[in-house]
Structure 1
Amino acid sequence: MSEVPEATRERVASDPFCAKLGIEVVDLSAGRAVAELAVTDELLNFHGTPHGGAVYSLADAAFAAASNSRGETALALETNISYLDTVDVGDSLTATAQETHLAGKTGEYEVEVANESGDRVATFRGRVYRPE
Protein backbone atom coordinates (compact mmCIF):
# COMPACT_ATOMS: atom_id res chain seq x y z
CA MET A 1 0.00 0.00 0.00
CA SER A 2 1.14 3.51 -0.72
CA GLU A 3 1.84 6.00 2.02
CA VAL A 4 -0.56 8.90 2.64
CA PRO A 5 0.93 12.16 1.26
CA GLU A 6 1.76 14.70 3.98
CA ALA A 7 -0.35 17.38 2.24
CA THR A 8 -3.36 15.04 2.45
CA ARG A 9 -2.75 14.38 6.14
CA GLU A 10 -2.63 18.15 6.77
CA ARG A 11 -5.86 18.79 4.82
CA VAL A 12 -7.69 16.03 6.70
CA ALA A 13 -6.40 17.26 10.08
CA SER A 14 -7.45 20.86 9.40
CA ASP A 15 -11.07 20.19 8.34
CA PRO A 16 -13.08 23.09 9.87
CA PHE A 17 -16.41 21.22 9.96
CA CYS A 18 -14.86 18.32 11.86
CA ALA A 19 -13.26 20.77 14.27
CA LYS A 20 -16.64 22.44 14.87
CA LEU A 21 -18.27 19.09 15.77
CA GLY A 22 -15.31 17.69 17.69
CA ILE A 23 -14.49 14.94 15.18
CA GLU A 24 -10.86 13.86 15.06
CA VAL A 25 -9.27 11.55 12.48
CA VAL A 26 -6.94 9.45 14.63
CA ASP A 27 -5.60 6.99 12.07
CA LEU A 28 -5.10 7.31 8.32
CA SER A 29 -3.57 4.92 5.82
CA ALA A 30 -4.18 4.21 2.14
CA GLY A 31 -7.87 3.30 1.78
CA ARG A 32 -8.56 3.33 5.52
CA ALA A 33 -9.35 5.89 8.21
CA VAL A 34 -10.49 5.96 11.82
CA ALA A 35 -12.31 8.96 13.30
CA GLU A 36 -13.60 9.60 16.80
CA LEU A 37 -16.32 11.75 18.34
CA ALA A 38 -17.35 12.34 21.96
CA VAL A 39 -21.12 12.85 22.08
CA THR A 40 -21.85 16.07 23.98
CA ASP A 41 -24.96 18.09 24.89
CA GLU A 42 -24.23 20.37 21.91
CA LEU A 43 -25.04 17.45 19.59
CA LEU A 44 -28.60 16.94 20.87
CA ASN A 45 -31.69 17.39 18.71
CA PHE A 46 -35.06 18.80 19.81
CA HIS A 47 -35.98 15.43 21.34
CA GLY A 48 -33.04 15.73 23.69
CA THR A 49 -31.24 12.81 22.05
CA PRO A 50 -28.03 12.88 20.00
CA HIS A 51 -28.75 14.04 16.45
CA GLY A 52 -28.44 11.41 13.74
CA GLY A 53 -26.57 14.03 11.72
CA ALA A 54 -23.73 13.93 14.24
CA VAL A 55 -23.34 10.17 13.77
CA TYR A 56 -23.62 10.64 10.00
CA SER A 57 -21.01 13.41 10.06
CA LEU A 58 -18.59 11.19 11.97
CA ALA A 59 -19.01 8.37 9.43
CA ASP A 60 -18.76 10.82 6.54
CA ALA A 61 -15.52 12.28 7.91
CA ALA A 62 -13.94 8.81 8.07
CA PHE A 63 -15.25 8.09 4.55
CA ALA A 64 -13.80 11.35 3.21
CA ALA A 65 -10.42 10.74 4.82
CA ALA A 66 -10.17 7.15 3.56
CA SER A 67 -11.32 7.96 0.04
CA ASN A 68 -8.90 10.90 -0.31
CA SER A 69 -6.02 9.12 1.45
CA ARG A 70 -3.97 8.50 -1.68
CA GLY A 71 -3.74 12.21 -2.45
CA GLU A 72 -6.23 12.14 -5.33
CA THR A 73 -9.41 14.20 -5.03
CA ALA A 74 -12.38 11.92 -4.36
CA LEU A 75 -15.91 13.34 -4.65
CA ALA A 76 -18.88 11.58 -3.10
CA LEU A 77 -21.31 10.09 -5.62
CA GLU A 78 -23.69 8.59 -3.10
CA THR A 79 -23.87 7.70 0.57
CA ASN A 80 -26.29 5.99 2.89
CA ILE A 81 -26.42 5.14 6.55
CA SER A 82 -28.30 2.62 8.64
CA TYR A 83 -28.77 3.53 12.29
CA LEU A 84 -28.65 0.32 14.32
CA ASP A 85 -28.78 1.50 17.92
CA THR A 86 -29.14 4.66 19.97
CA VAL A 87 -26.26 6.66 21.36
CA ASP A 88 -26.19 8.72 24.53
CA VAL A 89 -24.51 11.89 25.69
CA GLY A 90 -21.13 10.87 27.02
CA ASP A 91 -20.65 8.06 24.52
CA SER A 92 -17.38 7.96 22.60
CA LEU A 93 -17.95 6.85 19.03
CA THR A 94 -15.40 5.47 16.59
CA ALA A 95 -15.93 5.32 12.83
CA THR A 96 -13.70 2.95 10.88
CA ALA A 97 -13.75 3.41 7.11
CA GLN A 98 -12.39 0.72 4.82
CA GLU A 99 -12.06 0.71 1.05
CA THR A 100 -14.06 -2.23 -0.29
CA HIS A 101 -13.71 -1.63 -4.03
CA LEU A 102 -11.38 0.45 -6.19
CA ALA A 103 -11.62 0.45 -9.98
CA GLY A 104 -10.65 3.16 -12.43
CA LYS A 105 -12.12 6.45 -11.26
CA THR A 106 -14.54 5.07 -8.66
CA GLY A 107 -14.23 3.58 -5.22
CA GLU A 108 -16.53 2.14 -2.59
CA TYR A 109 -16.15 2.40 1.19
CA GLU A 110 -17.87 0.85 4.18
CA VAL A 111 -17.81 2.63 7.53
CA GLU A 112 -18.63 0.94 10.79
CA VAL A 113 -19.57 3.26 13.68
CA ALA A 114 -19.19 1.71 17.13
CA ASN A 115 -19.53 2.86 20.71
CA GLU A 116 -16.79 2.45 23.30
CA SER A 117 -18.00 -1.09 24.09
CA GLY A 118 -17.39 -2.03 20.46
CA ASP A 119 -21.10 -2.38 19.69
CA ARG A 120 -21.98 -1.23 16.18
CA VAL A 121 -24.43 1.68 16.25
CA ALA A 122 -24.44 2.51 12.52
CA THR A 123 -23.25 1.28 9.14
CA PHE A 124 -22.44 3.78 6.39
CA ARG A 125 -21.59 3.05 2.77
CA GLY A 126 -20.32 5.49 0.21
CA ARG A 127 -19.06 5.65 -3.35
CA VAL A 128 -16.68 8.22 -4.80
CA TYR A 129 -15.57 9.50 -8.17
CA ARG A 130 -12.00 10.65 -8.81
CA PRO A 131 -12.07 13.26 -11.61
CA GLU A 132 -8.27 13.47 -12.04
Structure 2
Amino acid sequence: MGVDAHTTSSPLGSLAELAAMTEVPEETREQVASDPFCATLGIEVVDLSPGRARAELRVTEDLLNFHGTPHGGAIYSLADAAFAAASNSRGETALALETNISYLDADGVGETLTATAEETHLAGKTAEYEVDVVDGNGDRVATFRGRVYRPE
Protein backbone atom coordinates (compact mmCIF):
# COMPACT_ATOMS: atom_id res chain seq x y z
CA MET A 1 0.00 0.00 0.00
CA GLY A 2 1.98 2.97 -1.26
CA VAL A 3 1.50 6.59 -0.41
CA ASP A 4 0.94 9.08 -3.23
CA ALA A 5 2.88 12.25 -2.45
CA HIS A 6 0.19 14.36 -4.12
CA THR A 7 -2.55 13.25 -1.73
CA THR A 8 -0.52 12.97 1.45
CA SER A 9 -1.39 15.42 4.21
CA SER A 10 1.41 14.16 6.47
CA PRO A 11 4.91 12.85 5.77
CA LEU A 12 3.71 9.58 7.34
CA GLY A 13 0.81 9.09 4.94
CA SER A 14 -2.66 10.55 4.86
CA LEU A 15 -4.92 9.92 7.83
CA ALA A 16 -7.43 8.38 5.42
CA GLU A 17 -4.88 5.79 4.29
CA LEU A 18 -3.86 5.03 7.85
CA ALA A 19 -7.53 4.81 8.89
CA ALA A 20 -8.09 2.19 6.19
CA MET A 21 -5.64 -0.08 7.99
CA THR A 22 -8.04 -2.27 9.96
CA GLU A 23 -7.91 -3.31 13.58
CA VAL A 24 -5.59 -0.50 14.68
CA PRO A 25 -7.22 2.07 17.00
CA GLU A 26 -7.79 5.45 15.35
CA GLU A 27 -5.92 7.26 18.14
CA THR A 28 -2.88 5.05 17.48
CA ARG A 29 -3.02 5.72 13.73
CA GLU A 30 -3.14 9.46 14.46
CA GLN A 31 -0.15 9.21 16.81
CA VAL A 32 1.86 7.31 14.20
CA ALA A 33 0.90 9.82 11.49
CA SER A 34 1.96 12.82 13.59
CA ASP A 35 5.44 11.72 14.70
CA PRO A 36 7.54 14.89 14.29
CA PHE A 37 10.95 13.14 14.21
CA CYS A 38 9.85 10.84 11.40
CA ALA A 39 8.43 13.81 9.53
CA THR A 40 11.79 15.58 9.83
CA LEU A 41 13.63 12.63 8.27
CA GLY A 42 10.96 11.87 5.67
CA ILE A 43 9.98 8.47 7.07
CA GLU A 44 6.51 7.33 5.95
CA VAL A 45 4.53 4.53 7.60
CA VAL A 46 2.85 2.86 4.64
CA ASP A 47 1.28 -0.20 6.28
CA LEU A 48 0.04 -0.77 9.83
CA SER A 49 -1.78 -3.72 11.36
CA PRO A 50 -1.70 -5.40 14.79
CA GLY A 51 1.89 -6.44 15.47
CA ARG A 52 3.15 -5.35 12.07
CA ALA A 53 4.25 -2.17 10.32
CA ARG A 54 6.08 -1.12 7.18
CA ALA A 55 7.87 2.21 6.79
CA GLU A 56 9.78 3.78 3.92
CA LEU A 57 12.56 6.35 3.59
CA ARG A 58 13.98 7.84 0.41
CA VAL A 59 17.73 8.39 0.76
CA THR A 60 18.60 12.03 0.11
CA GLU A 61 21.93 13.89 0.14
CA ASP A 62 21.28 15.19 3.66
CA LEU A 63 21.02 11.60 4.99
CA LEU A 64 24.53 10.63 3.85
CA ASN A 65 27.60 10.24 6.06
CA PHE A 66 31.11 11.39 5.16
CA HIS A 67 31.65 8.19 3.11
CA GLY A 68 28.74 9.14 0.86
CA THR A 69 26.52 6.29 2.06
CA PRO A 70 23.33 6.50 4.14
CA HIS A 71 24.12 7.42 7.74
CA GLY A 72 23.60 4.52 10.13
CA GLY A 73 21.43 6.79 12.27
CA ALA A 74 19.02 7.31 9.35
CA ILE A 75 18.75 3.55 8.76
CA TYR A 76 18.36 2.93 12.48
CA SER A 77 15.63 5.60 12.68
CA LEU A 78 13.73 3.97 9.81
CA ALA A 79 13.86 0.55 11.51
CA ASP A 80 12.98 2.08 14.88
CA ALA A 81 9.95 3.87 13.38
CA ALA A 82 8.58 0.58 12.00
CA PHE A 83 9.32 -1.09 15.37
CA ALA A 84 7.53 1.69 17.29
CA ALA A 85 4.48 1.60 15.00
CA ALA A 86 4.20 -2.21 15.17
CA SER A 87 4.71 -2.42 18.92
CA ASN A 88 2.12 0.28 19.66
CA SER A 89 -0.34 -0.90 16.99
CA ARG A 90 -2.78 -2.47 19.45
CA GLY A 91 -3.37 0.84 21.19
CA GLU A 92 -1.36 -0.04 24.29
CA THR A 93 1.71 2.03 25.15
CA ALA A 94 4.86 0.05 24.37
CA LEU A 95 8.20 1.27 25.68
CA ALA A 96 11.46 0.01 24.19
CA LEU A 97 13.53 -2.12 26.57
CA GLU A 98 16.37 -2.85 24.17
CA THR A 99 17.21 -2.70 20.49
CA ASN A 100 20.09 -3.72 18.27
CA ILE A 101 20.88 -3.39 14.60
CA SER A 102 23.26 -5.03 12.16
CA TYR A 103 24.22 -3.10 9.04
CA LEU A 104 24.67 -5.39 6.04
CA ASP A 105 24.99 -3.17 2.96
CA ALA A 106 24.88 0.46 1.84
CA ASP A 107 22.88 2.15 -0.91
CA GLY A 108 23.05 5.54 -2.51
CA VAL A 109 21.06 8.70 -3.00
CA GLY A 110 17.65 8.18 -4.56
CA GLU A 111 17.21 4.67 -3.18
CA THR A 112 14.04 4.01 -1.19
CA LEU A 113 14.59 1.84 1.86
CA THR A 114 11.73 -0.17 3.38
CA ALA A 115 11.62 -1.42 6.97
CA THR A 116 9.14 -4.18 7.82
CA ALA A 117 8.56 -4.91 11.51
CA GLU A 118 6.97 -8.19 12.60
CA GLU A 119 6.00 -9.24 16.12
CA THR A 120 7.85 -12.49 16.85
CA HIS A 121 7.00 -13.00 20.52
CA LEU A 122 4.21 -11.71 22.77
CA ALA A 123 4.02 -12.75 26.42
CA GLY A 124 2.32 -10.78 29.18
CA LYS A 125 3.72 -7.27 29.28
CA THR A 126 6.65 -7.84 26.91
CA ALA A 127 6.98 -8.44 23.19
CA GLU A 128 9.74 -8.87 20.66
CA TYR A 129 9.97 -7.57 17.09
CA GLU A 130 12.24 -8.24 14.14
CA VAL A 131 12.70 -5.61 11.47
CA ASP A 132 14.22 -6.16 8.03
CA VAL A 133 15.40 -3.12 6.11
CA VAL A 134 15.62 -3.71 2.37
CA ASP A 135 16.47 -1.64 -0.70
CA GLY A 136 14.35 -1.27 -3.83
CA ASN A 137 15.60 -4.64 -5.14
CA GLY A 138 14.57 -6.43 -1.94
CA ASP A 139 18.17 -6.87 -0.82
CA ARG A 140 18.65 -6.61 2.94
CA VAL A 141 20.47 -3.49 4.08
CA ALA A 142 20.06 -4.03 7.84
CA THR A 143 18.39 -6.23 10.43
CA PHE A 144 17.01 -4.80 13.66
CA ARG A 145 15.59 -6.49 16.71
CA GLY A 146 13.77 -4.88 19.62
CA ARG A 147 11.89 -5.73 22.79
CA VAL A 148 9.19 -3.66 24.45
CA TYR A 149 7.45 -3.45 27.80
CA ARG A 150 3.77 -2.51 28.12
CA PRO A 151 3.23 -0.91 31.55
CA GLU A 152 -0.59 -0.83 31.29
- Letter in structure 2 aligned against 1:92: T
Cα distance in structure 2, aligned partners of 1:63 and 1:38: 18
Helix, strand or coil for the counterpart of 1:113? strand
Q: Which residue of 2 aligns with 1:89?
A: 109
Count of paired positions: 131
Once the two structures are superposed, residues 44-91 of structure 1 have per-residue CA deviations (whole angstroms, 9 ceiling, x without a partner) of: 123332101000000000000000000000000000000011121111
**TM-score, with normalisation over the residues of structure 1?**
0.97
Identity across matched positions, percent: 83
Q: Which residue of 1 aligns with 2:91?
A: 71
- Could you list the runs of 5+ residues in structure 1 that have no partner in the other structure? none
Cα distance in structure 1, aligned partners of 2:146 and 2:82: 11
Helix, strand or coil for the counterpart of 2:23? coil
- Letter in structure 2 aligned against 1:52: G
Equivalent residues in 2 for 1:30-109, closer than 5 Å? 30-109=50-129
- Letter in structure 2 aligned against 1:11: Q
> RMSD between aligned alpha carbons?
0.9
1:116 aligns with 2:136: yes
Cα distance in structure 2, aligned partners of 1:125 and 1:56: 11
- Letter in structure 1 aligned against 2:129: Y
Please list every run of at least 4 consecutive aligned residues from structure 1 whose deviation after the TM superposition is greater than 2 angstroms: 46-49
- Letter in structure 2 aligned against 1:111: V
- Could you list the runs of 5+ residues in structure 2 that have no partner in the other structure? 1-21
Structure number with greater CO (CA < 8 Å, separation at least 6) is 1
Structure that is richer in strand per residue = 1
Whether the 8 Å CA contact 2:97–2:148 is kept in 1: the answer is yes
- Letter in structure 2 aligned against 1:83: Y
- Letter in structure 2 aligned against 1:46: F
Q: Which residue of 1 aligns with 2:33?
A: 13
Cα distance in structure 2, aligned partners of 1:26 and 1:86: 22
Cα distance in structure 2, aligned partners of 1:85 and 1:66: 24
- Letter in structure 1 aligned against 2:118: Q
